[in-house]
Amino acid sequence: YKKITGIEHIDKVVEVSQAPIGRTPRSNPATYTGVFTDIRKLFELTPEAKIRGYKAGRFSFNVKGGRCEVCRGAGVQTIEMNFLP
């Protein structure tokens, strides 16, 4: 490339490696950069959330009822394989 345009619209750059980020293993780039806060606020504004009285805090990987209880917000399910040697 010879030129980058639109750079005046960028106020910061966040580099993300594969090292753990945040306070919990469920942290991800959206939670780390704060973008997920805005997403949770949008979820709070949905008609379904209003009917149920859900606030933004309900839409969290760390809250029972707001996360998948099968994986507890981890995004994967770990299955014990105790029968293996």
62 Cβ contact list (under 8 Å, min separation 6): 24, 26, 73
Is 70 exceeded by the pLDDT of residue 85?
A: no
- 52 touches 36 (CB < 8 A): no
- Residue 32 or 40, more confident: 40
Q: What is the mean pLDDT of residues 61-70?
A: 83
pLDDT value for 4: 82
- Residue 43 or 70, more confident: 43
pLDDT value for 35: 93
